Chains A and B, each alone.
Chain A
């Protein structure tokens, strides 16, 4: 089944403890992206990648890192999580970044709580 898989689904952590949220897609998609969703603020893009070794900042990149060493994987790294990074996170992938090439496939989400 074509899908985007995120792990973990739920995570509670403490301030300052480094964590990684994994994202993997099995559709050979070029483009991958991370969003966070917060009440009243909607979905906001954190980082995106147009292909292997090509990443760029979205609207809210502060406090996050990403890497794209392989086409299928796009992990989100929080080096020193803070409570304001408590949020619902979604990974997405798309065939390409070219407009009109189709829509994004989203993962099921990771609910992160930083205490």
Chain B
């Protein structure tokens, strides 16, 4: 897995968009970018993944730069329930995902 760098923590106002950055400057051409989140001590929850193109689903949008060296996860209208640790992973090994430290997102009223 390529190394990823995320801010340790971020704040976001409720109702505003949360933009979570991830740097993966050493990513190789066949490595996907995955995002998961973990709310307190619950099981991690898959959010979205992408290879080259931007992706959107019912939870979030994933914007990957053209050079693929960084990406941004966007939660369009953050709620208090989006408070969690968000993990960005760059991997081409479907059998093993390596979770780093993640970004602790605090959504505030």
* Interface residues of A, Cβ cutoff 8 Å to B: 4, 31, 33, 35, 42-43, 45, 48, 50, 56, 58-59, 88, 90, 92, 94, 96-109, 111
Contacts and interface: CB of A to CB of B under 8 A. Distances in A.
Contact of B93 (A88, A96, A99, A103): A99
Contact of A43 (B34, B44, B46, B93): B44
A49 B95 CA distance: 8
Nearest to A43: B99
Contacts of A101: 94
A42 B51 contact: no
Contact of B49 (A48, A58, A102): A102
A105 B41 CA distance: 15
Given A90-B43, A107-B43, A100 B49 contact: yes
Given A99-B32, A103-B36, A103-B49, A108 B42 contact: yes
Nearest to A106: B43
Given A99-B93, A100-B94, A106-B45, 7 more contacts: A56-B95, A90-B43, A96-B94, A100-B51, A103-B49, A107-B43, A109-B42
Interface string B24-57: 0000001110101000011111111101000000
B76 interface: no
Contacts of B72: none
A88 B99 CA distance: 15
B15 interface: no
Contact of A106 (B32, B44, B100): B44
Nearest to A103: B46
B101 A42 contact: yes
A58 B98 CA distance: 10
Contacts of A98: 94
Nearest to A96: B94
